[in-house]
Amino acid sequence: MQTPQQKNTAGMPSTRELELARRQIERDGGTIELGSEELEERVTPRLASNHNETFLAA
């Protein structure tokens, strides 16, 4: 599988968001410990997305 390559920075996480994410992981107690092999892993299995259904109300 080919990893999509970045063309621009639109929508990219900011430095502040990166810092907040690190704090989040610390708050979670570092539940995910990464081995060196996993650090090399770049592609997450394809994630499912949801649909936004319009549900009409009278």
* Chain residues that interact with another protein, rule: CB under 8 A: 2-13, 17-18, 20-22, 24-25, 28, 31-34, 38-39, 41-58
**What is the rounded distance in angstroms from the CA atom of residue 16 to the CA atom of residue 22?**
10
For residue 15, the minimal CB distance to another protein (Å) is 11
Distance CA 34, CA 42 (A): 13
CB of 14 to another protein, least distance (A): 10
Closest by CA to 34, choosing from 47, 25, 46, 21, is 25
Shortest Cβ distance from residue 35 to another protein (Å)? Answer: 8
